[in-house]
Each structure stands twice: as C-alpha cells, then as structure tokens.
Amino acid sequence: MYHKPVLLKEVLEHLKVNKDAKYIDATLGDGGHAVEILKMGGTVLGLDVNPEALQRAADRIKDLGLSEKFTGATGNFKDIEELAKANGFEAVSGILFDLGYSTFELEEGNIGLSFLEDQPLDMRLDSTLGVTAGDLVNALPEERLADIMFNYSDERMSRRFAKAVVEARKLKKIQTTRQLAEIIKSAAPSDYERGRINPATRTFQALRIAVNNELENLENSLPRAARLLLPGGRIVVISFHSLEDGIAKQFGLGAQPKLSKVVKKPLMPTEEEINENPRARSAKMRVFEKCAE
C-alpha cells in the first residue's frame, strides 16, 4: 500500500536518531522514513510540496499512533528555513532529503510522472506552479527541448527525440503521457540502451526536473538546511541521478556553516534491497555532519 523507503537502515544509522531529538524529513512522501524515526522516539517535521501526499502520510502516522511527535507542513524544501522556524524546528539534530518519488505519486497521483499509466501530461508536484510538461512539449522550440533532454538526463538521442516531438505536435497537440511515450519510442532505434530502459525514461525525468525546478531548489535548500543543524547534527541526501548527486557532493565541499563528510563515498543499496525494491537500484546516499563551532 505504501512506498518502500530506500536505504532505511542506513538512514536511521547515520541520522543517529535519539529520543526526543528533532528531525526534519524534507521530502515526506509516504512517510516511510519518518515513521521509523518516530518509532525510535524522535520528533519529526515532515515537509511535502503536495498536500495530498502530506495528508496521506499524516493519516498513516495517525493510524500507527505516532502523531504526538509529528508535525506536517505543506511547502517546498527550498523554503525549509521558514517552514522549520514556523513550526518550532529552528535547531535540529538531523535532516533527510530523499529525492525519489513515492509509488503513489508515480502511479496514482494523476499528474503524469510515469508513462506506465496514461495520465495528463502535467508533472507539477505543486499545482500552483504555472508551467506543465504539456506546455513545454507543445510550445518550446526544438533546440530548447533537446537541451532539456540532454542537460537534465544525459539523453544522447535528445536531438532526434526533440525533432520527433515537434513533428508530432504539428499534427496533434500532445496531452497525455502515453502520447509522448509512444512518440519517443517510435523515434528510438530498436537497440536503444540494449533494451535496459524504456526510451521515454530519460525524457520524462528531464521534463519533471524542468517543470519542478528540482535542481535549483536543491541547490538553494541544502545550505539553508545546514543552518538549522545543531553542532554534530547531520544531513542525509539520497539522490537518484548524477545531477542531484553532483549538487549534494559540491554542497559538502563548500558548505557554510562548515560540514564534514561522514562517509567518503556515497552509500549504495545492497543487492538484497535492489531485489526487494528495484526502484532503489540508482540510489546514492551522502551524509554530512555540522562541525562544532
């Protein structure tokens, strides 16, 4: 029923969860990590830009009898300082960024994050954002579309796919995930990535990043999160593609206040976890600790 949290054992170990200490889950989703922190006695502020996802997680936490130490707040983690201070979490022992998406968001959210279901081509996690994925694919010049595909997902076929999208939209407006996925698939060579991934995977990732300003928001949020940490407090970042991981790595090198790397190389899921949860396969986890002043 609920999304299986990635690298759960590692998250709990490296956040060093203590009873009554305060933690922020900056990407609450289905609340899988937050639930376990609460079970260990931690006090949690859960943030989610999607009010439906936040309510779903809050209901789950309530059903488990863990609401007493949980506070939920709707908002983007780029505003983490304001959201934390508004809810009494201006000095915390740990902050988690899990940059993946829950099964609910991917399959049942009806916003077009996945091409496995035929949904409106929206992709906005925050419905107040002005531009949808449909707006981008139907209006952007071919070169700009190709740049988005290449820059945000390393799609080597970006020029070819962008051209196919522009040709297709001349005949009919592209409105659903299935339409877009079929256009990309028809333009892809038969041996695309040796069959390891669907040809539309990287295009969908790139559009999602562009629509939600994901990379810019992460760059802005991490230093703001660091300012909320108590000395010895930790930030855990779980990323799912190289651009996110690169931002987390760079942040750790030049962060102010000063942070130290807890693990030299990013932690990866075990083969056992990948077998149980295939969506964990690309996860990388970095851990930073705030140095004593």
- Tell me the DSSP string of 86-152: HTT-SSEEEEEEE-S--HIIIIIS-SSS-SSS--BS---SSTT-S--HHHHHHHS-HHHHHHHHHHH
Q: Helix, strand or coil for residue 120?
A: strand
Residue 139: CA atoms inside 13 Å, Cβ hemisphere, count? 6
- Residue 31 in marked binding region: yes
> Rounded to an integer, what distance in angstroms lies between the CA atom of residue 155 and that of residue 163?
14
- Residue 33 in marked binding region: yes
Q: Helix, strand or coil for residue 91?
A: coil
Q: CB neighbours (10 Å) of residue 197?
A: 10
Question: Cis peptide before 257, with omega less than 30 degrees from 0?
Answer: yes
Residue 86: its H or E element: helix 80-86
- Residue 98 in marked binding region: yes
- Residue 48 in marked binding region: yes
Phi-psi group of 262: left, alpha or beta (phi > 0 → left; psi -120 to 50 → alpha; rest → beta): alpha
Residues in the annotated binding site for S-adenosyl-L-methionine: 31-33, 48, 77, 98
Residues in the annotated binding site: 31-33, 48, 77, 98
